[in-house]
Amino acid sequence: MPGVYGDGIYFTSMSSTAKGYGIDKSAGYSFANGNWQDAAAGNSVLLAHVTCGRVETVHEGYKVGPQVDFNQHDSRKVDKKSGADELVIFHGQRAFVKYVIVF
């Protein structure tokens, strides 16, 4: 999936951040509107095991290219100003979904 920190699959260790990405904003659902918990908002979170390999760590706002240099790194970790983190992997084989939580 295209994203700010590269075209890959995005993960976070914070469930609230993960939930925020799963909300169907195009249909008007959001935390600000108070309707994020509606069943139609996209209420599911995947819990996965992820093998990171060699990680490139960057900070939010840091200008990075669309992909990591695969000669040096296998994934990218973004430390955000909010305290949240994001991990971007560029190959789906690096993730194993263990649980799907639907609420």
For 81, the token pair is: 């100003």
For 31, the token pair is: 């935390």
pLDDT score recorded for residue 55: 95
pLDDT score recorded for residue 65: 66
pLDDT score recorded for residue 87: 93
Average pLDDT per 10 consecutive residues for the chain, totaling 103 residues: 78 86 86 86 89 92 74 92 90 94 84
pLDDT score recorded for residue 94: 95
SS3 46: strand
Helix locations, the chain, DSSP H: 15-22
pLDDT score recorded for residue 48: 95
Angle subtended at Cα 84 by Cα 42 and Cα 65, rounded to the nearest 5 degrees: 90
pLDDT score recorded for residue 57: 92
Question: In whole angstroms, what is the distance from residue 7 CA to residue 70 CA?
Answer: 13
Question: In whole angstroms, what is the distance from residue 32 CA to residue 42 CA?
Answer: 16
pLDDT score recorded for residue 2: 61
Show Cβ contacts of residue 44 under 8 Å, excluding neighbours closer than 6 positions. Answer: 22, 100, 101, 102, 103
